Structure 1
Amino acid sequence: MLSRGYDDEARKARHRLENPPPPPSKHVRHLWQAFTDLCATRPVNGMALSPLSRLEIAQWERDEMIRLEPWERRAILRLDQEFIAANTGTGASKTGPDGKPATPVEES
């Protein structure tokens, strides 16, 4: 039998599905759109998600004829770091309170 911690995680996951976050504010909606556009063309290396590079962002800017501000590029790169962490098991949700990876505990 798995520990109670996994029941809590399942409950939290159901809650997130039933109560999605609000859409991004109008002030950052363009950044979210740029990030989703870039993710659609993300290179795949066969083993894990590849991070977006500044070169890929620059090429996207040229293709779309858009000029991002430096802070906007940094925000997209930060979004990408969080996206990769959330999808590879290295994010905070995959660790215990001590920062070590959470592991299932079987009861006897």
Structure 2
Amino acid sequence: MDQSLFTYDIIAEDPKTHARAGVLHTPHGDIETPIFMPVGTRATVKGIPWETVRDLGAQIVLSNTYHLAMRPGADLIAEMGGLHSFMNWHGPILTDSGG
């Protein structure tokens, strides 16, 4: 993956704690930080339509790689055009190992 596709701009920093606010730029959109990130287990935020997730201000969704590997599996996700198409979420996605 080309690291130059991801950049971070610091908007504000606390001089005492060094806490920062900023914008993470990704190929799928910008993410203001700090951010609340809903979890899309098995590629969906349970019980909430994607339009509502976006309307609530979500800029990124976390998806669990382990759960996706168990079901539906990498082959099906690839056949569906990748995780963004499979989820029908075209904004940024962060995946974790689930461990």
**TM range, smaller chain:** under 0.3
TM-score by length of 1: 0.22
Q: Which has the higher contact order (CA 8 A, sep 6+)?
A: 1
TM-score by length of 2: 0.24
